[in-house]
Structure 1
Amino acid sequence: MRDHRRDGVPRGNLPLELDSFVGRGAQLAELARTLDSARLVTVTGTGGVGKSRLAARAAARRSPRDGVWRVQLAPVRDEEFVDYAVVEALGLTDHTTRLPRETLFAHLAERELLLVLDGVEHLVDACAALVTDLLGRAPGLSVLAVGRRPLEVPGERRIPLPPLGPEEAVELLTVRAGQRNVTYGYDADLDEDHGEVRELCRRLDGIPLAIELAAGRLGALSPAQVLQRLDDRFRLLTGGDRAALPRHRTLRTAIGWSHELCTARERLLWARLSVFAGPFDLEAAEYVCSGEELPADDVLDVLSALLDQSVLAREETSAGVRYRMLDTVRAYGADWLAAAGDAHRLRRRHRDWYVGLATWCELEWFSPRQGEVAARVDAELPNLRSALEHCLSEPDGAHLGQYLAGSLWFHWVGCGRLSEGRRWLEQAVRLDAEPTAGDQSRLKALWVLAHVAILQGDTVPALAALQECREEAERSANPTAVAYAEHRTGCLALVTDDARRAERLLRSALRRYRDIGELNSNVLMCQVELAMTRAFQGDLREAVRLSADVRQVCEDHGERWARGYALYVLAYAAWSDGDPVHARALLADCLGGAHRFRDQLGSVLAVELLALVTLAEGDATEAAVLQGAAGRMWPSVGLPLFGSAHYNAPHELCEAAAREQLGDERYEDCVRHGARLGRREAVSRALRRPGGAVSLPGPRPAGRRSAAGSQTPKPAASPTHRGGETAG
């Protein structure tokens, strides 16, 4: 990704150009002029004409204060997910029950940025409504839409993109063929075949995707041979009237021609790969697409051939190498898959792979690979959504859908996707009004739904889901579900200020976890929550003992997420003991991890406590700035819930002392300054040590202790994990 930065803060997510940009000088200039004078510009044109590439090139040349952000809409199939896709692209996190559009209103209201909506044609109504609302609420926002159809909203300026001119088309074919010569060994000089090259580009109507596909064949065929084969197909489909050939048919003909030149196994893999909703890796392709006609061991060779022919593209991501198809190419393969009568079977195989992936990721979340798991699920989200859709649309898919939605709890809760998770969980639970006795999938979906609702501050539906889960779990003698229901009920009591009841329920849940041998991030969070209840009741010694034990277990297993909350409790105790240096070290570790996981609750709690630590270090001005930054973050968490007497105590203490030192006017000025900071800016500022530089600490290898850790009391044996009596 192109990472525009100001003061170390990212200012966009435009993809880096992996190959040269050819031609389009006039269109680039026109688009730049139009973007200077209009807030909504739509680039339209036929599939494969180069709209996305042109828009990305033009957008990269702009420098609005808050950056350029691209939203890829091709993988989005449901109009309800358009808003979520924009929220995700902007890197926003919202734990509340607010609709994603409200989150966008709040984020964009005072920002100056360019939003690129790429691939709007299949979601025109939803995109038009969103753009109209956003432009009306955010005066600093501009939108560059890309699609085969305009949005048809007031104020829209349209830039229809024609195919390449003759010289540009020849240049593109020559450049791309030259790039492939190194790999594929075609040594002919294209200048000697200039007539055939020009004619080939004319037959392809100057459509860049068609030219790219033709260039992929120049590793094996001469321009004259390519032209002859293409000419035969054009005549077949158009009755010989090439001059009247519509451009959309030209593209489909070019894709079909490339399809015919593929071997039988290449065509088969092309069709089967069309079931992927987004980028995929080799292992997924080998499982989903293999069969009697195409053994798994042969998938790599066939996939490589499709890559050579530009049917597939390869890209590097934070989760490793991925492959993707352009939407037009995928649609062609999907037609062939449907015609073969194999679409349903392949979608089920696709579903099964991603259910298995979610199962693996849930297990690996409690391991040193936690960061890798977070990146993997982020990369696979379009395909996981497709699998969820398939489960929930199948007559017999309710239980599997409940299992999949529940197994992704760590992603919904730990990686800042509460709103989307709740949508899937509610759909899954509604599908099965009469569960079978002891149905583990439904019970899991219920307690995960309750957990999500609790974190959103929506207590009534959370309590209803927990009651249903507990009653059914007891009726079916399911001890695991009983433990989770009791744990989450205790969590609900904790965040609603009933610390005594919370302690009773959490201790009981820990005993149940111990009895069934359960150990994972949820169990450790239960012990952290118990530590919080003790801290809120004034027993810091017990709170430290419980949290230090969690910290040690986390470091033994490489767990980072629950560890961050344990560090928060330890930091609070260190501050209470008059040791701001130790408290800051613990909070820096806590905040860095929460920010990487997009855990908004963990982030804002740490920033609030860092403000209090900063005050203790003698800097009331910076403390007030951090309070303002936290104040901007709280609405994304749920201020009515977590702004309770216990969670809000650090804020109130800090505010009272800072106001006294600075005076009301100066304090409010500092708070307003902090409130203008974005999420990453706020985190960077909070992590700036006195007199030092900003840093976002990276993860340390599992099992290693920080220097600050040596100041923490030695962890006691935990009954939950080591047979003692701490949690009981």
Structure 2
Amino acid sequence: MRPPRRDGAPAPGNLPPELDAFVGRAAELAGLAGALDASRLVTVTGTGGVGKSRLAARAAARSAPPDGVWRVDLAPVRDPEFVDHAVAAALGQTDHTARPPRETLLAHLADRRLLLILDGFEHLVGACAPLVTAVLRRAPGLRVLAVGRRPLGVAGERLFPLAPLPEDEAAELFRDRAAQQGVACGDDRTVRQVCRRLDGIPLAVELAAGRLRALSPGQLLDRLDDRFGLLAGGGREAPHRHRTLRTAIGWSHELCTPGERLLWARLSVFAGAFDLEAAEYVCGGHGLPADEVLDVLTELIAQSVVAREETRAGPRYRMLDTVRAYGAQWLAAAGDAARMRRRHRDWYVGLATWCELDWFSPRQREVAARVEAELPNLRCALEYCLSEPEEARLGQYLAGSLWFCWVGCGRLAEGRHWLERSLRLDSGNEHSRLKALWVLGYVAVLQGDAAAAPAALQECREAAQRSASAVALAYAEHRTGCLALVTDDMAGAETLLRSALARYREVGELNSNVLMAQVELAMARAFRGDPADAVELCEDVRRVCEDHGERWARGYALFVLAYAAWAEGDPPRARTLLTDFLSGAHAFHDLLGTVLAIELLALVTTADGDPAEAAVLQGAAQGMWPSVGLPLFGSAHYNVPHERCEATARRLLGDERYEACVRQGARLGREEAVGLALGRPGSVAAPPDPCGPVRRARGAAHMREPAASPTRKGGETAG
């Protein structure tokens, strides 16, 4: 068990790699860390800009439990129904089932010892309070650190009110931010007066310090004195500190040039981080030419209004929620909010369109990283489209176009949420509705939902026939064939998949979906006892994928080739193919591909003479299957490798040791399980075998015999 961290370093989880320069707050930091050690639910409250999030992140890093610290940014979330999805996404949880997200969250957290930070929850208390109550009841090892402007109101909640900085610490923060800009503060008395006027609110102090490139501390103080009454705003009934924060932000706003104020307001339409190209498109024009956005943005960064950060998807920018909300008020006052939301929607609909096309290219992994980074804004665009009646068509189109994100990047549950919500609307556009329907059917198939999948696909087929949409008909037929495949109707699957491939050829369709249809046909052929035909089909897919740089569909072709290699008695080739497949599937967060690869690798590992490791791998897969759906879809054909591996490993190890190995595997996290399957250094070993080398050697002698031929089952071959 890893001891609590006391060095202030970021804890495992999804905290940012740096927690910002943290100045002062020593007593509060120690107090909050102590509260986290003593209580299962702590809520940090305080006015906007007082430093709640920063203190919470630092304290959490010092009090990290064994399974790490996981932060959920709820500020961009507007739909209370999406809270569970947002928490699951932040936890990196991949669930392919049709279960409600609350149920999968509770199952995921039940045995974990982690710290969950719910940051910016105050506008979602009605959704967050019952969720926190449920997870604390279900997961005894879980602690929750809530961060907001009000309490959650949950039984057992320990409140940690955070006050502004004392004058000494506020002055230290001011000097620190000045030093970062290479500016000397000069007279300490003036610095203290500035900080006193700003009530020691860290955000206000940092905004003021951001002006030191142009103004001296004395000039800052003069301008604050001149404008304090004018800019307080908010009415006399507002709390003094709220008025002071508004004063600081408003004062910084007044010191901006007209172009800077305009960009500040327009940037408020973004949820979370954004990139330069998006800012130029969305915010450019009507008084701010697109080619001037970079220069104006640079000035806002210098003034601490916007922050720059490095991500896997490249440089990105963001505003603190308080600063963004101030800009949004100005945007609304200017009567430009609706137009800017439409431009934001246009950009992200266009981004989704290009990413869907680029998914079938050498840029596939970059697309996955880009969409991951853009999810808050894509969700914002979806929310807008599905909240405005005249936008329903684009909502359906956007939800459908993101199929590669929902399916290829392990976000089935979220995708289903948006697809079902879009299909409840009357868009008046058959094309967008058909796309959303077949994507919903596909998602439901992969979730093992035997009721929703055929209903959506049948509706899609009938509507496609009525409207003579050959493309939608091909997709509906393809996914119906996929449903037949995972429900053991091999003859039906082969008929439907061959027909779908013919339709794709007729309309000139070629992309990852089309290649997956050929892979699924190959799987049906392998299950029906024709591995040679399966290999020919998948080698063709492999060639096309390599020509186009496609990785995702190629991985599933490798799986079928590995299955055929195992069936034909070539475990080394099967292992090579499977490790390639597993590496790719794991990189894409494709849980289905990951668990299929581990199951077959377990069987190959028995052939390598290591039944104990094979049993550990089976246990690891067993821990993942509940997030995929019914184990191996409940399919007799898909289940054959699992059954053969279990039978052999039990025979070689004995029931007691086999079960011990499976239990150990079930305790592995996904990263550990994948590391073990890929043979990475430091992977978890199987429990020691009391019979040691004798049984291991005997197992190796048995398992190096050629693999048995596929057996007949129900008139077909279950390979």
What TM-score results when the alignment is normalised by the length of structure 1? Answer: 0.90
Asked if the contact 1:76–1:82 (Cα under 8 Å) also holds between the matched residues in 2, the reply is yes
Query: What CA distance in whole angstroms lies between the structure 2 residues aligned with 1:159 and 1:476?
Result: 61
Asked if the contact 2:69–2:116 (Cα under 8 Å) also holds between the matched residues in 1, the reply is yes
| One-letter amino acid matched to 1:139 | P
Tell me what 1:699 maps to: none
Tell me what 2:432 maps to: 441
| Within-5 A mapping of 1:308-457 | 308-432=302-426, 435-436=428-429, 439-457=430-448
Query: What CA distance in whole angstroms lies between the structure 1 residues aligned with 2:607 and 2:658?
Result: 16
Give the C-alpha shift of residue 190 in structure 1: 2.0
Deviations 1:141-187 (A, max 9, x none): 11111111111111111111111001101110011011112xxxx5x
Query: What CA distance in whole angstroms lies between the structure 1 residues aligned with 2:222 and 2:82?
Result: 45
Query: What CA distance in whole angstroms lies between the structure 1 residues aligned with 2:591 and 2:32?
Result: 38
Give the C-alpha shift of residue 640 in structure 1: 5.7
Tell me what 2:702 maps to: none
Tell me what 1:721 maps to: none
Asked if the contact 1:200–1:223 (Cα under 8 Å) also holds between the matched residues in 2, the reply is yes
Tell me what 2:266 maps to: 272
Asked if the contact 2:632–2:639 (Cα under 8 Å) also holds between the matched residues in 1, the reply is no
Query: What CA distance in whole angstroms lies between the structure 1 residues aligned with 2:232 and 2:89?
Result: 44
Judged with a 3 Å threshold, the aligned counterparts in structure 2 of structure 1 residues 394 and 658 are, in CA distance, closer, same or farther, namely same
Tell me what 1:123 maps to: 124
Deviates more, 1:17-26 or 1:90-99: 17-26
Give the C-alpha shift of residue 459 in structure 1: 2.0
Tell me what 1:531 maps to: 522
Give the C-alpha shift of residue 430 in structure 1: 1.5
Query: What CA distance in whole angstroms lies between the structure 2 residues aligned with 1:553 and 1:455?
Result: 24
Judged with a 3 Å threshold, the aligned counterparts in structure 2 of structure 1 residues 237 and 402 are, in CA distance, closer, same or farther, namely closer
SS of 1:459 mapped into structure 2: coil
1:190 matched to 2:190? The reply is no
Asked if the contact 1:87–1:100 (Cα under 8 Å) also holds between the matched residues in 2, the reply is yes
Tell me what 1:96 maps to: 97
Tell me what 1:166 maps to: 167
Judged with a 3 Å threshold, the aligned counterparts in structure 2 of structure 1 residues 66 and 540 are, in CA distance, closer, same or farther, namely same
SS of 2:145 mapped into structure 1: strand
Deviations 1:579-604 (A, max 9, x none): 21111111001011111111111111
1:515 matched to 2:506? The reply is yes
Report the RMSD for the aligned CA atoms in angstroms. Answer: 1.7
Judged with a 3 Å threshold, the aligned counterparts in structure 2 of structure 1 residues 309 and 213 are, in CA distance, closer, same or farther, namely same
Query: What CA distance in whole angstroms lies between the structure 2 residues aligned with 1:380 and 1:344?
Result: 21
Asked if the contact 2:531–2:564 (Cα under 8 Å) also holds between the matched residues in 1, the reply is yes
SS of 2:389 mapped into structure 1: coil
Query: What CA distance in whole angstroms lies between the structure 1 residues aligned with 2:550 and 2:124?
Result: 40
Tell me what 2:667 maps to: 676
SS of 2:96 mapped into structure 1: coil
Name which of 471, 491, 494 aligns with 1:500.
491
Give the C-alpha shift of residue 485 in structure 1: 0.9
Query: What CA distance in whole angstroms lies between the structure 1 residues aligned with 2:203 and 2:150?
Result: 18
Tell me what 1:474 maps to: 465
SS of 1:145 mapped into structure 2: strand
Tell me what 2:697 maps to: none
Name which of 617, 625, 642 aligns with 1:651.
642
Structure 1: give runs of 5+ residues left out of the alignment.
5-9, 696-728
| One-letter amino acid matched to 1:416 | G
Give the C-alpha shift of residue 660 in structure 1: 1.0
Tell me what 1:256 maps to: 250
Query: What CA distance in whole angstroms lies between the structure 1 residues aligned with 2:17 and 2:616?
Result: 35
1:662 matched to 2:656? The reply is no
Q: How many residue pairs end up in the alignment? A: 673
| One-letter amino acid matched to 1:232 | D
| One-letter amino acid matched to 1:394 | E
| Within-5 A mapping of 1:202-217 | 202-217=196-211
Give the C-alpha shift of residue 361 in structure 1: 0.2
Deviates more, 1:361-370 or 1:472-481: 472-481
Give the C-alpha shift of residue 567 in structure 1: 0.5
SS of 1:146 mapped into structure 2: strand
Judged with a 3 Å threshold, the aligned counterparts in structure 2 of structure 1 residues 559 and 64 are, in CA distance, closer, same or farther, namely same
Tell me what 2:701 maps to: none
SS of 1:47 mapped into structure 2: coil
| One-letter amino acid matched to 1:194 | D
Deviates more, 1:70-79 or 1:640-649: 640-649
Query: What CA distance in whole angstroms lies between the structure 2 residues aligned with 1:693 and 1:407?
Result: 40
SS of 2:210 mapped into structure 1: helix
| One-letter amino acid matched to 1:529 | E
Query: What CA distance in whole angstroms lies between the structure 2 residues aligned with 1:297 and 1:553?
Result: 40
Give the C-alpha shift of residue 509 in structure 1: 0.7
Query: What CA distance in whole angstroms lies between the structure 2 residues aligned with 1:259 and 1:539?
Result: 71
Deviations 1:403-458 (A, max 9, x none): 1110000000111111111111111112027x45xx21111111001001111111
Query: What CA distance in whole angstroms lies between the structure 1 residues aligned with 2:653 and 2:20?
Result: 55
Tell me what 2:194 maps to: 200
Query: What CA distance in whole angstroms lies between the structure 1 residues aligned with 2:458 and 2:123?
Result: 41
| One-letter amino acid matched to 1:203 | R
Query: What CA distance in whole angstroms lies between the structure 1 residues aligned with 2:631 and 2:594?
Result: 17
Runs of 4+ off more than 2 Å: 16-20, 235-239, 692-695
SS of 1:117 mapped into structure 2: strand
Asked if the contact 2:211–2:303 (Cα under 8 Å) also holds between the matched residues in 1, the reply is yes
Tell me what 1:704 maps to: none
Deviations 1:479-498 (A, max 9, x none): 11111111111111111110
SS of 1:190 mapped into structure 2: coil
Tell me what 2:678 maps to: 687
Query: What CA distance in whole angstroms lies between the structure 2 residues aligned with 1:553 and 1:501?
Result: 26
| One-letter amino acid matched to 1:406 | G
Query: What CA distance in whole angstroms lies between the structure 1 residues aligned with 2:217 and 2:46?
Result: 27
Query: What CA distance in whole angstroms lies between the structure 2 residues aligned with 1:175 and 1:315?
Result: 19
| One-letter amino acid matched to 2:136 | L
Asked if the contact 1:615–1:658 (Cα under 8 Å) also holds between the matched residues in 2, the reply is yes
Give the C-alpha shift of residue 34 in structure 1: 1.1
Give the C-alpha shift of residue 236 in structure 1: 2.6
Give the C-alpha shift of residue 292 in structure 1: 2.8
1:220 matched to 2:211? The reply is no
| One-letter amino acid matched to 1:190 | C
Give the C-alpha shift of residue 283 in structure 1: 0.3
| One-letter amino acid matched to 1:512 | R
Give the C-alpha shift of residue 650 in structure 1: 0.5
Query: What CA distance in whole angstroms lies between the structure 2 residues aligned with 1:44 and 1:576?
Result: 61
Asked if the contact 2:461–2:473 (Cα under 8 Å) also holds between the matched residues in 1, the reply is yes
Give the C-alpha shift of residue 61 in structure 1: 1.0
Asked if the contact 2:364–2:550 (Cα under 8 Å) also holds between the matched residues in 1, the reply is yes
Give me the identity figure in percent.
75
Query: What CA distance in whole angstroms lies between the structure 1 residues aligned with 2:392 and 2:231?
Result: 45
Give the C-alpha shift of residue 515 in structure 1: 1.3
Query: What CA distance in whole angstroms lies between the structure 2 residues aligned with 1:597 and 1:16?
Result: 22
Tell me what 2:610 maps to: 619
1:581 matched to 2:572? The reply is yes
Tell me what 1:78 maps to: 79
SS of 1:87 mapped into structure 2: helix
1:293 matched to 2:283? The reply is no
Asked if the contact 1:457–1:640 (Cα under 8 Å) also holds between the matched residues in 2, the reply is no
1:565 matched to 2:556? The reply is yes
What TM-score results when the alignment is normalised by the length of structure 2? Answer: 0.91
Asked if the contact 1:42–1:151 (Cα under 8 Å) also holds between the matched residues in 2, the reply is yes
Asked if the contact 1:238–1:245 (Cα under 8 Å) also holds between the matched residues in 2, the reply is no
Query: What CA distance in whole angstroms lies between the structure 1 residues aligned with 2:562 and 2:239?
Result: 71
Give the C-alpha shift of residue 666 in structure 1: 1.2
Query: What CA distance in whole angstroms lies between the structure 2 residues aligned with 1:19 and 1:478?
Result: 54
